[in-house]
Amino acid sequence: MNRELVLPPGFGDYAWEFEAKGYLDAAVRIDGSLISVSFYDPVRLQQDIAADIQAGRIFTVKRLLVIEQVTIENMQWAVAEAPLDFFG
């Protein structure tokens, strides 16, 4: 099955912002279907988890991929490496 990372329009112009923020919601196209995925770097993930816990909330993210840095290359690698059932 072919997997294609689908980024927001104009992503290339703002890629540095997403890398600095440490997260991005994007999509993966598999067999014509778009599946939402979230990419986080470990630092941002830790910050968001801590903030939610301190606020008395649980932290949930569906289809979360944690990568070293939120770059196109790392996101493409994660999409290719994720088990197929991750997208199900």
Domain residues for the domain of 26 are 3-87
Q: In the chain, what percentage of residues exceed pLDDT 90?
A: 91
* Tally of domains in the chain: 1
Q: Is the pLDDT assigned to residue 1 strictly greater than 80?
A: no
pLDDT of amino acid 42: 99
The conformation of residue 69, written as its DSSP 8-state character, comes to S
Is the pTM here over 0.85, yes or no? yes
Number of H helices, E strands in the chain: 3, 4
C-alpha of 50 from chain center: 19
